[in-house]
């Protein structure tokens, strides 16, 4: 699996197989990381927005619009 395991050879078979495998793994993980980071940012943005709203005593939910969009999508 890794170039350090002793069956590993730098031949075409290994390079194609593991090249594709690691490409898939990287695609999956970067997407997941993207989702995680974006979600945290979203939550954080909400929190700041809510704090600001509280501060200016306007208790509205600034992310309501986002929610509607999700509904349309699901």
Closest distance between another protein and the C-beta of residue 35, in Å?
Answer: 4
Question: How far, in Å, CA of 51 to CA of 48, rounded?
Answer: 5
Among 3, 10, 39, 62, binds another protein (CB under 8 A): 39
Q: Is 13 in the site for another protein (CB under 8 A)?
A: yes
Q: Tell the residue number behind the tokens 């992310």, with chain if given.
A: 63
Torsion from C-alpha of 45, 74, 37, 65, nearest 10 degrees: -10
Contacts with another protein, residue ranges (CB under 8 A):
1, 5, 7, 13-14, 16-18, 21, 24-25, 27-28, 31-32, 34-36, 38-40, 42-43, 46, 64, 66-68, 70-71, 73-74
């Amino acid at each position: 699996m890794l170039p350090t395991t002793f069956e590993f050879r730098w031949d075409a078979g290994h390079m194609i197989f593991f090249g594709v495998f690691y490409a898939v793994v990287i695609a999956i993980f970067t997407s997941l990381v993207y989702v995680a980071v974006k979600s945290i940012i979203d939550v954080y943005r909400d929190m700041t927005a809510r704090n600001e709203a509280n501060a200016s005593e306007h208790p509205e939910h600034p992310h309501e619009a986002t929610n509607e969009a999700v509904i349309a999508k699901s």
